[in-house]
Amino acid sequence: MNRMRLAQVAASLLVLAAAVPEAVAEQDLLKQAEKLNKTAMEDYDSLEFDSARQTLLSAIAKLRDAGQDDTPTAAKIYTNLGIVYIAGFKDKNRGLQQFVNALKIDGTIVLDPERATPELQEAFEAAQKQVPARKPAKPPVADTDGGPAASNVQGLQHAAIDEAKAGVDVPVKAQLGSDVAASRLFLFYRSPGQEEYVSVPMNVNAQGDWIGTIPGEAMEGKSVQYYIEARDARGRPVIAAGTAASPYIISVLEEKVVQDNDNRDNPLIAKPPVDGDKGKKDNALGRGFGRMFVNVMFGTSMGLEVSGNTTEVAYQYQTSTGKYAQQAIDGTGTALEPLHMDMELGVNITKHLGISGMVRTGFTLLNNADSSAQAMDNPAGIPGTAKASGDVSGFLRLRYLFLEDRVRPLLHLGLGFGSIRHLLDIHAAENDTNPLVDAVSAQYFNSGQYAQDYQAWASHGMKGTAPRLNEVCPDHNNCVDTVALGMMFVSAGGGLYVDLTKWKNGGFGLLVDVDAILALPVGGGQTGLNFDFQVGLGTHFL
């Protein structure tokens, strides 16, 4: 064998030696991906949806980094990810995206019959309609130079981006087939709270891929929406991946997933759940733990006063007993508190559930049952009673915010202590002969001291300046007293929180709320119902 022949053999052996480890590594990568896929679906069957989703996303990301995201294994993982999104998280839009990704790779793939449901089958069939040219996936075929063979792209091809870190630029890649009569591609994106999409021109690189970038400053909140549109030379839309009405959705991660120490050298395996940590892949801020919120609300209240409740200032003369008694409500009816204010400070336990302390301050404003002025010139020196100007109560509340959109419904439960006052028109309970009096005057009369003093003063010729009782409403045609409920309350209500603005670590919004408060007959307090109707402003931060 001559030297030239020996050199050729040696070169061939070197090429073979280099290729064998690479092929083995690819096979190991696919085996590991299959193992992760199996682990994820076991978590799914155990209702550990967060864990299943994170494991599948990690596997897809590593396959993509290794250029193996067009293999049958990747198609299987995309299909299972679609199942997790739809059946586990009730997110049909994202699940449909994953089914489309799978069918673009392998048009023959089907749903696992053991996990298929009518809902999943319907979404899968909808995905099939979006992928008209379906072909089975094939492993990469080497060309004459030893590299992967170029594929013939048809239509507009794009692999959806499911998650990205907050504040980091996100490159978006697409491929445009020669069968599409388009000359330009545009990327459209919008952050939470934005009404309109922002458009970014996409540029083609040397490999024929079109690249556009969502800037890091737009990656905030919980998610970012985007879609891609191809246009012809006259600027008319030709084909799109996603639409303004049905965009792709990127979940914004606030912290990088940490690799497990035992698998840090394995590029496919993200940190698995450890004891007490399964299903808690999101970091603390992502869950919302520690995020504080402040709400300030103003509103009006309508009360339901029950028969037997009594007013606070006025006492009425009872002809049946010949004594004064606290003015009582004859029948159940409604009463008003004109104005109240709520100040609430709370902290989130999860991204949906929070606990807070709230101070409620009421203002009666319109009541005039007051004997202070009468007492000033009373010859007997009987002290008067001032009207109530308002009330204060405090509540410990649990709040649950639904959804993660700009408009979020909410429910809350509370336990409170204090008082709530309603207004009651009682002018019909008095007349010129029997006016309403205050508590001290009633006690003075009922004890018999009034009659004794009156007779004593009269016997001394002082009848004109004899002791008298303090009237609470000198104008007998206008008398409004208060009825106090409390001292213990339970409450339940709900409303809407609407984000007006957002920033990196918080937001500012409008709050509309209704709260039903039941007063319990504890500690001598009066029972009844109160309904708060209120609007206000809220903010959340950290």
* Tens-digit pLDDT profile for residues 66-119: 877 778 888 889 999 999 999 889 888 888 889 988 888 877 788 887 788 888
What values do phi and psi take at 57, rounded to 5? -65, -40
- Assign 439 a pLDDT band (cuts: 50, 70, 90): very high
Average pLDDT over residues 138-148: 37
Task: Give tens-digit pLDDT for 514-524.
Answer: 999 999 988 88
Residue among 373, 336, 385 nearest 483 (CA):
336
Share of the chain above pLDDT 90, in %: 45
pLDDT at 144 over 90: no
Task: Give tens-digit pLDDT for 146-170.
Answer: 333 335 778 899 999 999 999 899 9
- Assign 293 a pLDDT band (cuts: 50, 70, 90): very high
More confident residue, 370 or 138: 370
pLDDT at 417 over 90: yes
3-state secondary structure of 268: coil
pLDDT at 2 over 60: no
Mean pLDDT lowest among 215-229, 252-266, 362-376, 449-463: 252-266
Average pLDDT over residues 31-48: 86
Q: What is the pLDDT of residue 318?
A: 93
Mean pLDDT (the chain) is: 83
What values do phi and psi take at 413, rounded to 5? -125, 145
pLDDT at 139 over 60: no
Q: What is the pLDDT of residue 354?
A: 94
Q: Whole-angstrom Cα distance, residue 370 to residue 474? A: 9
Q: What is the pLDDT of residue 465?
A: 63
pLDDT at 493 over 90: yes
pLDDT at 506 over 80: no
Task: Name the token pair of 326.
Answer: 């606290």
| Residues in Cβ contact with 534 at an 8 Å cutoff, skipping those fewer than 6 apart | 297, 298, 299, 300, 340, 342, 512, 513, 514, 515
Q: Whole-angstrom Cα distance, residue 510 to residue 538? A: 6
What values do phi and psi take at 14, rounded to 5? -65, -45
pLDDT at 183 over 70: yes
pLDDT at 310 over 80: yes
What values do phi and psi take at 476, rounded to 5? -70, -5
- Assign 472 a pLDDT band (cuts: 50, 70, 90): very high
| Residues in Cβ contact with 523 at an 8 Å cutoff, skipping those fewer than 6 apart | 487, 488
Q: What is the pLDDT of residue 454?
A: 84
Q: What is the pLDDT of residue 378?
A: 81
Task: Give tens-digit pLDDT for 112-131.
Answer: 877 888 888 888 988 888 87
- Assign 3 a pLDDT band (cuts: 50, 70, 90): low
- 418 exposure class (CB count in 10 Å sphere: 0-12, 13-18, 19+): buried
Q: What is the pLDDT of residue 304?
A: 93
C-alpha 444, offset from chain centre: 58
- Assign 301 a pLDDT band (cuts: 50, 70, 90): very high
Beta-carbon-side half-sphere exposure of residue 435 (alpha carbons within 13 Å): 20
3-state secondary structure of 147: coil
Distance between terminal CA atoms of the chain? Answer: 76
What values do phi and psi take at 241, rounded to 5? -115, 105
Which domains can be identified in the chain, with CATH numbers? 20-128 (1.25.40.10), 285-541 (2.40.160.20)
DSSP string covering 191-226: -TT-SSPEEEEEEE-TTS-EEEEE-GGG--SSEEEE
